[in-house]
Amino acid sequence: MSSEGRVRKASDIQQAFDSLPDAGGTVYLPSGTYEVEQTLKLELKEGQHLFLVGDGRTTKLVNVNTSGGVLMHIVGAVGTWWPDLRITIRDLTFIGNHDSGDALIIEYPNDTMVDSCAFFGHGGKAIHLKVQGTNTTVRDCWMRDCKRALVADNLHHLTMHGNQTRGMRVSADQGQVQAEHVYLGANCRECRIVNNHFAYGDAEAIILDGTAQHVLANNCIEGFTKAIYAVDCRDMVINANYLHSPKGVHLVGDCHAFAITGNTMINCPEGSVVVEDGAGSGGHVISGNVMRKSVYGGLGGDWTEGGVCLGEASDCVVNGNVIEEVHGMPAVSAGPGGGGHVIAANRIARNDMPGIAVDCASECEVSGNLVDEG
C-alpha cells in the first residue's frame, strides 16, 4: 500500500499501519464508522514518520471491546530521546464504552502532535503518553465522559493547549464516575497546561505527582473536588487561571517554590490555597489573586469562599490578594509550626472570623493589610 493509503474499512487500518514504508507516510481515514474489535498497533522505527488523519467528527473509530481493550497503541523509536521520527494524529473521533480501555496510547512520544481529535466515553484514558518522550503537543481536542483525559509519564516539554474535558454525570444514570482529568507523573518536566477548559469531573482536575517545573496558566477549571492537587512537587507557575472547586490549589507534603499569581478563585469553601503536611516545605509566592464568593450566590445563596492556609510551611509571601467573604476559617492562616512568612498588603473583606491568624515557630512579618475583622 502506498504511503497515501485511503482506508475504507476498519480491517484495513491495521494493514495500512503494517504497510508503511521505511520513511513512513500518511494514512488517511475518510468519513465513516470503523468498528475496532482488536487493538490497532503500530511500531515505528527511526526515520519512519506517521501522519494519521481523518475527516474530523465524521471519521469515527469505535472501540467495541468490552473487556478493557485499548483502541489504538502506537510505539515510537524505542530507547532514544531524540529520534528522527515525527507522529501527527489529526481530525479523528475516538469513541469507546465504559468497559473499554484507553483510546490512544503512545509510547516514546517524541515530536508528537495530537490535534483536533475528539474522545468520547472511554473506560480508560483518552490519551496516555508513556515510557519516555519529549516535544509533544495535545491541542484543541474534546475529551468527554472518559475515565481520564490525559496521563503523562516521563514526558518533557509537553504542551496541552486549547482542550476541553467534561464529565456527563448530570444525573446518576448518565456518564461514568471519573478519576482526575489530567495526571503528570514524577519524571515529567517543563510541561505547559495552558488555555484549556476542564469541567465537571468527580475527582481532581489536575494531579501533579512528585513532579517539577511546569506552567499551568489561563485555564478555566470548574466543578471538581480539587482544581489543582500537587504532592511533593517544586518549581511551579500557576497563573491567571479561573478555579471553581471546593479546594482551589492543594499542596501536600514536600512542595517548594510555587508561584500562585493572578488567579481568580471562586466558591472554594475548603480553601483557595491549602498547604497540608507541609513541614520543611515552602518558599511559595501567593500574590495578586482574587478569592471570593460568586456574585451569583449559588443555589439557595449558600456558596462560600475559603482562604489561604499555609500550615507548617515556611518562607512564603502572601501579598496583594483580594480575599472576600471567607466563612468558617481565617482568610489567611499560618502554623502551628513553620513561619518566616511575609503577609502584606492584602485586602480582606466581609469575613466572619479573624482575618489573619498566625501561630508560627519563627517570626513573620504581617503589615499593611486592610482587614474587616469578623
Pick from 215, 171, 219, 208: nearest CA to 191: 215
Give dist(CA 334, CA 312) in Å, integer: 7
Mean pLDDT on 77-94:
94
CA dihedral 260, 263, 266, 270 (to 10 degrees): 0
1 pLDDT more than 80:
no
> Under 8 Å CB-to-CB from 16, ≥6 apart: which residues?
1, 5, 7, 27
Confidence of residue 81 (pLDDT cuts 50, 70, 90): confident
User: Chain-centre distance of CA 56, in angstroms?
Assistant: 24
Give the pLDDT confidence of 195-234 residue by residue, as tens digits: 999 999 999 999 999 999 999 999 999 999 999 999 999 9
46 pLDDT more than 80:
yes
- Bridge partners, residue 310, by sequence: none
Burial of 31 (0-12, 13-18, 19+ CB in 10 A): exposed
pLDDT for 108 equals: 97
Which cell numbers in the block locate residue 373?
475583622
Average pLDDT of every residue of the chain = 93
pLDDT for 301 equals: 52
- In the chain, what are the domain boundaries? 39-371
Which residue is listed with cell 471570593? 292
Mean pLDDT on 339-347:
98
CATH of domain 39-371: 2.160.20
28 pLDDT more than 60:
yes
pLDDT for 12 equals: 87
Pick from 142, 99, 146, 100: nearest CA to 125: 146
300 pLDDT more than 50:
no
Give dist(CA 261, CA 337) in Å, integer: 24
pLDDT for 168 equals: 87
> Under 8 Å CB-to-CB from 43, ≥6 apart: which residues?
74, 75
Q: What is the 3-state secondary structure (H, E, C) of the chain?
A: CCCEEECCCHHHHHHHHHCCCCCEEEEEECCEEEEECCCEEEECCCCCEEEEEECHHHEEEEECCCCCCCCEEEECCCCCCCCCCCEEEECCEEECCCCCCCCEEEECCCCEEEECCEEECCCCEEEEEECCEEEEEEECCEEECCCEEEEECCEEEEEEECCEEECCCCCCCCCCCCCCCEEECCCCECCEEECCEEECCCCEEEEEECCEEEEEECCEEECCCEEEEEECCEEEEEECCEEECCEEEEEECCCEEEEEECCEEECCCCCCEEEECCCCCECCEEECCEEECCCCCCHHHCCCECCEECCCCECCEEECCEEECECCCCCEEECCCCECCEEECCEEECCCCCCEEECCCECCEEECCEECCC
Which cell numbers in the block locate residue 61?
473509530
Pick from 5, 63, 2, 53: nearest CA to 31: 53
Mean pLDDT on 305-325:
96
Confidence of residue 51 (pLDDT cuts 50, 70, 90): very high
pLDDT for 302 equals: 63
